[in-house]
């Protein structure tokens, strides 16, 4: 009996070690596609209601419904975005080629430069260094132009990689739409957590992903469009390019678009267009900025149940750690981090010391705090537990199964 137990223990240790080694090798092999597959899973989850509706209308032909769903996704989102990016790249080339010469030309006109510098309150202090300032400004302008040209060239070189990653994402979306429910069931089977904790983590993942994408895209499009409109009215060259830049920077709550329009206002003042500068400043501060203040708490903060501080930190940290997709991954990781610690606190509440403090007032802005012993499973409006992503509605047996087989039952070996 003792030998049998020892053999079982050795088998378990060996199997766990083998699984870890194979997993590490597999991860290194597919690590270049992790973010692509992650985005494919998120977009598939968002498009799944449309896929189900199309599948019903097409008589249960799920592969055809999945293909049609992906085609609609490409037509509605990818094609217009690609066409607009073509205009942006063209304007980016023009902007990058004209920044350096424009600054050098303006700096060469001594009267205009003197008039600009004399408006500064510390003009008398910097007057002896006027020539040095002009030289350094010209050098900076040249480096800025070189940087912009290099960035555009790098973006052009990355076009082939982008379309390859796009193909992988769309291909993965096809299988996620068809077999996503079975994939998720199998993953959850291997996680040794209580069903309510699993549902809670999955529901948090889905809600934060949807809120982040929906909120960020809506806010970015609105802010970028309004900011670009203001630039166009003000006569700023490359307004479409700067519109996209503001759209991208809008993922930074509060200050994203200001990083672009404030220098634009300064530029208008510098060239003597004070009226346009004041009008652009008022438009961007009151209208463009109001979009962020009004919509972000409703579209992102409310659904993610996180404070603006945590959304900001997780967004910036995600971008630093994961690149462009970090604005999605960062808030998801932050929300899961908070949720895992909440589950930990509830699971081990009897072993943790009680702290007399207004818990709900202290951390309610970070996440929803569930008192120990309360039912922590996510609940729908009609009282049913929230489903995992891709899960069919109760009573709907139309979901496809993975050709590799459904996940083992919860009480399986």
Read off the pLDDT of residues 250-269 as tens digits, 9 standing for 90 and up: 777 667 778 888 888 887 87
- In angstroms, the CA 40 to CA 325 distance is 12
Q: Which pLDDT belongs to residue 378? A: 42
Q: Which pLDDT belongs to residue 90? A: 61
**Residue 172: is its pLDDT beyond 90?**
yes
- In angstroms, the CA 32 to CA 36 distance is 8
For 171, how many CA atoms within 13 A lie in the half-sphere containing its CB? Answer: 8
- In angstroms, the CA 194 to CA 213 distance is 29
**Residue 364: is its pLDDT beyond 60?**
no
Quote the Cα angle for 133-138-143, to 5°: 125
Query: Per residue in 74-106, pLDDT tens?
Result: 887 766 666 666 665 565 555 555 555 555 555
Query: Per residue in 33-62, pLDDT tens?
Result: 888 888 888 888 888 888 999 888 888 888
- In angstroms, the CA 299 to CA 214 distance is 7
Q: Which pLDDT belongs to residue 251? A: 72
Query: Quick one: average pLDDT of 270-281?
Result: 81
| DSSP sequence for 104-128 | HHHHH-HHHHHHHHHTSTTHHHHGG
- In angstroms, the CA 54 to CA 68 distance is 8
Q: Which pLDDT belongs to residue 292? A: 74
Q: Which pLDDT belongs to residue 247? A: 80
- Confidence grade of residue 114 (pLDDT, cut at 50, 70, 90): low
Contact call for residues 263 and 103 (beta carbons, < 8 A): no
| DSSP sequence for 164-213 | HHHHHHHHHHHHHHHHHHHHHHHHHHTS-S-HHHHHHHHHHHHHHHHHHH
Cβ–Cβ contacts within 10 Å for residue 239, how many?
A: 19
pTM for this prediction: 0.60
């Amino acid at each position: 009996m003792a030998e049998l137990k020892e053999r079982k223990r050795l088998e378990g240790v060996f199997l766990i070690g083998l699984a870890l080694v194979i997993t590490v090798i597999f991860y290194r092999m597919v690590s270049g596609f992790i973010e692509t597959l992650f985005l494919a899973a998120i977009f598939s989850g968002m498009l799944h209601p449309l896929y189900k509706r199309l599948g019903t209308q097409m008589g249960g032909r799920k592969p055809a419904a999945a293909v049609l769903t992906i085609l609609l996704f490409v037509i509605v989102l990818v094609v217009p975005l690609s066409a607009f990016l073509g205009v942006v790249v063209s304007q980016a080339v023009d902007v990058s080629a004209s920044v350096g010469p424009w600054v050098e030309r303006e700096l060469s006109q001594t009267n205009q430069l003197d008039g600009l510098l004399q408006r500064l309150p510390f003009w008398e202090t910097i007057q002896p260094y006027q020539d040095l300032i002009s030289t350094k400004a010209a050098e900076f302008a040249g480096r800025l132009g070189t940087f912009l040209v290099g960035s555009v060239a790098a973006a052009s070189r990355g076009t082939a990689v982008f379309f390859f990653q796009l193909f992988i994402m769309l291909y993965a979306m096809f299988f996620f739409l068809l077999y996503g429910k079975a994939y998720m069931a199998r993953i959850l089977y291997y996680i040794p957590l209580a069903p309510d904790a699993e549902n809670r983590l999955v529901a948090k993942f889905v809600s934060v992903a949807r809120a982040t994408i929906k909120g960020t895209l809506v806010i970015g499009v609105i802010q970028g469009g309004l900011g670009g409109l203001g630039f166009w009215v003000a006569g700023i060259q490359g307004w479409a390019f700067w519109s996209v830049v503001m759209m991208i920077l809008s993922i930074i709550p509060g200050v994203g678009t200001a990083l672009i329009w404030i220098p634009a206002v300064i530029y208008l003042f510098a060239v003597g267009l004070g009226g346009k500068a004041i009008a652009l400043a008022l438009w961007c501060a009151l209208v463009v900025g109001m979009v962020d203040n009004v919509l972000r708490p409703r579209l992102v903060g409310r659904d993610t149940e996180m404070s603006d501080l945590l959304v900001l930190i997780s967004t910036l940290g995600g971008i630093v750690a994961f690149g462009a997709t970090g604005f999605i991954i960062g808030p998801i990781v932050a929300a899961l981090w908070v949720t895992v610690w909440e589950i930990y606190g509830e699971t081990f509440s009897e072993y943790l010391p009680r702290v007399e403090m207004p818990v709900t007032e202290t951390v309610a802005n970070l996440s929803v705090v569930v008192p120990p012993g309360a039912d922590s499973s996510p609940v729908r409006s009609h009282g049913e537990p929230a489903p995992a992503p891709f899960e069919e509605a109760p009573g709907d047996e139309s979901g496809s199964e993975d050709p590799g087989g459904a996940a083992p039952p919860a009480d399986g070996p």
